[in-house]
C-alpha cells in the first residue's frame, strides 16, 4: 500500500515537456496538482529527474562526432529495445508517462534530438530531417541497439522514424507511428500544407503557451501556473532553434512531393501500428488511410476519440496499452525482407 501511495505521489509530481510539432508538432505534460499555486520557486529540473526515475529511466550522455547526445535509458538490456522519438520543440521527457508502462518489459532509449532538450550541437548544425535521421543512426550504432530495433515516433518524430525504417529495413523490427507528419495526398491542415504556419505554434513570449496548448490538445491536463511558467521559459529559450527546424521542414516540403514521399514510405518493411486522434488539429485524421495504403505491413489503425495531437500526454495509458499489445505480437515475427533474401 505504501508503495502504491509513493508511486501516486511521484505521478502527481510529474510533468513532461511541451511538444510543439506537426508534420511535426507538439507539446507537453501535466504536472502535479500537489504543487500549489502560491509557490514562487520550484526546481523544475529536479521534478523532471524525479519523473524519469518514476518511469524507470536514468539520464546518460554520449558524444558522437559534433553531437553531445543526452538521453534517457531504462529497462533491462537483455530485453528487446525500443527507441522513442519525440516531436518538434519537444524533448525526451514528453515520453515519460508512456515509458513508465514500457520499462518493466523492454529496454527503452529516448534521446533528445539535436538542438532539443539537453543535446548539444554546433551553431551551424544541419537540422534537416534527412541529416537528423543519419545522426540518429550514428547514435543507435554507438549505443549498440541497431539489431531488431523497435521504433516509435510522434509527430515530427514519426517522420524521422519513417525515414529511418525505410533506410534501414533489415534492422527495424517494428514501427509505431503516432500523429506523424509527412507529405500525404489528404493533408488538409495549414500546418501540413505549408509548414511555415507552424511558427504560429511557436512559444516565443509569455502567454504563448496557453494558445498553443489549445491547438495541440483536445483536453489539456491540469498544469499549475508555477509549472507552466517554467515550461514556457524553456520553450522561449529554445524558440530560435525551433524556428530553424521549422524552416528545414519547409525545405523538406520543397524537396519531396506526395508521390516521392509515398515512394519512401513504401520502402518500409517492418510491421507498423498507426495511432491517431479524431480531434487532431495539426495532422488531420484523413492521413491515416493514406498512410495505411502505402505501408507494406500495416496493422488496423487505432483511433482515439476526445484526444488532440498529443496522445502521449493526453492519453498515455491508452497509447501504452496499444503499443504493448502490438509489441508482443511482433517480437517473434520474421522479417519479410530477410526472408526474401534467405530464400533466394
pLDDT tens-digit profile of 200-227? 999 999 999 999 999 999 998 888 899 9
pLDDT digits (tens, 9 = 90+) for 277-291: 999 999 999 999 999
Are 15 and 30 in contact by the 8 Å Cβ rule? The answer is yes
What CATH number is given for 22-342 in this structure? 3.40.50.1820
Judged against a pLDDT cut of 70, whether residue 170 lies above it is answered with yes
The sign of the dihedral angle between the CA atoms of 239, 241, 245, 247 is: positive
The mean pLDDT value for 48-74 works out to: 98
Cβ neighbors of 262 (< 8 A, separation 6 or more) are 184, 185, 294
Give 219-267 pLDDT, tens digit per residue. 988 888 999 999 999 999 999 999 999 999 999 989 999 999 999 999 9
Mean of pLDDT values over 131-153: 97
Distance CA 62, CA 314 (A): 31
Q: Does position 335 have pLDDT exceeding 90, yes or no?
A: no
How many Å apart are CA 28 and CA 331, to the nearest integer?
30
Question: Average model confidence (pLDDT) for the chain?
Answer: 88
Stretch 92-112: mean pLDDT: 98
pLDDT, tens digit (0-9, with 9 covering 90-100), for 104-129 = 999 999 999 999 999 999 999 999 99
Q: Where are the domains of the chain?
A: 22-342
In this predicted structure, what is the pLDDT of residue 15? 36
Amino acid at each position: 500500500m505504501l508503495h502504491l501511495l509513493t508511486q501516486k505521489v511521484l505521478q502527481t509530481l510529474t510533468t513532461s515537456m511541451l511538444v510543439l510539432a506537426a508534420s511535426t508538432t507538439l507539446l507537453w505534460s501535466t504536472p502535479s496538482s500537489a504543487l500549489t499555486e502560491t509557490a514562487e520557486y520550484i526546481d523544475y529540473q529536479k521534478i523532471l529527474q524525479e519523473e524519469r526515475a518514476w518511469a524507470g529511466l536514468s539520464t546518460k550522455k554520449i558524444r558522437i562526432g559534433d553531437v553531445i547526445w543526452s538521453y534517457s535509458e531504462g529497462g533491462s538490456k537483455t530485453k528487446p529495445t525500443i527507441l522513442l522519438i519525440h516531436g518538434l520543440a519537444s524533448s525526451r521527457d514528453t515520453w515519460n508517462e508512456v515509458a513508465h508502462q514500457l520499462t518493466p518489459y523492454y529496454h527503452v532509449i529516448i534521446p533528445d534530438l539535436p538542438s532539443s532538450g539537453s543535446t548539444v550541437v554546433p551553431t551551424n548544425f544541419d537540422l534537416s530531417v534527412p541529416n537528423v535521421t543519419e545522426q540518429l543512426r550514428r547514435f543507435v550504432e554507438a549505443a549498440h541497439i541497431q539489431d531488431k530495433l523497435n521504433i516509435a515516433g510522434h509527430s515530427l518524430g514519426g517522420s524521422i522514424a519513417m525515414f529511418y525504417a525505410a533506410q534501414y529495413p533489415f534492422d527495424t523490427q517494428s514501427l509505431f507511428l503516432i500523429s506523424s507528419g509527412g507529405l500525404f495526398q489528404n493533408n488538409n491542415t495549414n500546418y501540413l500544407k505549408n509548414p511555415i504556419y507552424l511558427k504560429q505554434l511557436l512559444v516565443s513570449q509569455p502567454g504563448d503557451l496557453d494558445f498553443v496548448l489549445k491547438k495541440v490538445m483536445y483536453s489539456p491536463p491540469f498544469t499549475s501556473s508555477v509549472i507552466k511558467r517554467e515550461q514556457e521559459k524553456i520553450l522561449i529559450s529554445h524558440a530560435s532553434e525551433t524556428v530553424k527546424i521549422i524552416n528545414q521542414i519547409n525545405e523538406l516540403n520543397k524537396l519531396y512531393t506526395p508521390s516521392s514521399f509515398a515512394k519512401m514510405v513504401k520502402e518500409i518493411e517492418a510491421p507498423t501500428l498507426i495511432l491517431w486522434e479524431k480531434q487532431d488539429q495539426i495532422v488531420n485524421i484523413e492521413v491515416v488511410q493514406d498512410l495505411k495504403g502505402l505501408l507494406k505491413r500495416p496493422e488496423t489503425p487505432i483511433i482515439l476519440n476526445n484526444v488532440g495531437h498529443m496522445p502521449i500526454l493526453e492519453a498515455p495509458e491508452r497509447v501504452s496499452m496499444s503499443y504493448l499489445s502490438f509489441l508482443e505480437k511482433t517480437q517473434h515475427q520474421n522479417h519479410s525482407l530477410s526472408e526474401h533474401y534467405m530464400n533466394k
